[in-house]
Amino acid sequence: MCHLTDRLNFCHFVRLSIPVLTGRHAGDRIYVTCSIILGKAMDVEQLKIDVDFMIQALKEAQAAAEEGEVPVGCVIVANDVKVKGKKVTSTGRIIARAHNLTETLRDPTAHAEMQAITSASSYMGGKYLDKCTLYVTVEPCPMCAAALNWSQIGRVVYGCADPKRGASMFSPTLYHPKTRVDGGVLDKECSKIMTDFFSRKRKR
């Protein structure tokens, strides 16, 4: 369920019904009101689709946390563009899932996005992902943004921003000129899984 309640410039305030991923209430649905900051105007139907795919990315982030990895997860979706009158909606199917494995593989480049790019490119049978969307729980770092540039990915949707290492800190943009970037989808949920993870680590 998704209701548009207000709009200010490119910031949408949305009431969402999302599933609880872990704990004794896992599987239950809760209602949250969150702001979604978008690079361009977008209809509510597209927001609902974005939230659904971000929930899948959050599941990957939770899997990373359970493995002792920094909880960043992502999915790549092969776009299926639907045109109804003047409205264009991008839906699609998940072709790659990944989460951080830097500790497991002892590889500093084993970020969720890097693995997902490799998997999606293999699935698509080519190195370009211009007809795909990446959903990732945390804003990509410069390394991942540059790799996404080489893949010419069509769109990047991230959850919470990374004010210290995020690609948006760099100018000019590290993304491909044709890549659309939208941020803030389930911002609070994506941020919470990160803060909870590091809080637990500090207590050990």
Positions marked catalytic: 113
Beta bridge partners of 135: 75, 157
Q: Can you give the length of the chain in residues? A: 204
Is the Cβ–Cβ distance between 61 and 73 less than 8 Å?
yes
Q: List the one residue out of 185, 113, 107 whose CA is nearest residue 142.
A: 113
End-to-end CA distance of the chain: 39
Collapsing DSSP to helix, strand or coil, 53 comes out as helix
- Give the integer Cα–Cα distance in Å for 144 and 148: 6
Q: Which residue type, as a one-letter code, is found at position 98?
A: A
Q: Which residue type, as a one-letter code, is found at position 13?
A: F
- Give the integer Cα–Cα distance in Å for 89 and 81: 6
- Give the integer Cα–Cα distance in Å for 47 and 4: 9
- Give the integer Cα–Cα distance in Å for 97 and 61: 10
